[in-house]
Amino acid sequence: MKFTDLGIIEPILKALHLEGYTQPTPIQEKAIPILLEKRNLLGVAQTGTGKKAALTIPILQQIFDDKGRRKIQALIVTPTRELAIQISDSITAYGKFTGLKNTVIFGGVKQGGQTDALRRGTDILVATPGRLLDLISQGFISLRDINYFVLDEADQMLDMGFIHDIKKIIAKLPSKRQSLFFSATMPQTIVELSGNILG
């Protein structure tokens, strides 16, 4: 199995080739075709399995196909600043030839640079929960155009006490959307939360 067998468009294949990727990992092989069919997905994946590509490639492809530009169409929520930056870097790398923009927002820093980037417009937003809710309440972010929602590292999110923030974010999302839910483990609380997200 190669990336060319997964129905991925040429601009993304070109970027993957530049990154030195030819063969998908098991999670990429399983997840990418499901996500390209716009189906919801609950994935159990450890760090280092290629999950970032599995979740970002289909989003890039579908937004590229939709051609609606510079409004937030995809939201990826992740528990830490480090993960948010890593995911944003992956989107930048794989989306190099798509013309799509992504913005990353997280707490612990002044918000000016982040709000400036949001004003310029972005297609994909990567965010930690607290800063996301903060900027929504200030009117810098609207989630009304979200077609793709990803909750990444859900078990870590719960361990860090973000469950109420996550529920607030989900309540603000359009009911018609594609949802992706990734967790390294699947305790009962995660199963219940995934039921709320994936409907």
**122-152 per-position pLDDT tens digit:** 999 999 999 999 999 999 999 999 999 999 9
pLDDT tens for 61-71 read 999 977 666 78
The pTM assigned to this predicted structure is 0.93
φ, ψ for residue 171, nearest 5 deg: -65, -25
pLDDT at 196 (0 to 100): 72
pLDDT tens for 48-58 read 788 889 999 99
DSSP codes, 118-137: HHH--SEEEE-HHHHHHHHH
Q: How far apart (Å, rounded) are the C-alpha atoms in residues 74 and 141?
A: 12
- Mean per-residue pLDDT for 67-83? 88
Count other Cβ atoms within 10 Å, centred on residue 54.
25
DSSP state of 79: S
Under 8 Å between Cβ of 75 and 149: yes
Q: What three-state secondary structure class fits 154?
A: helix
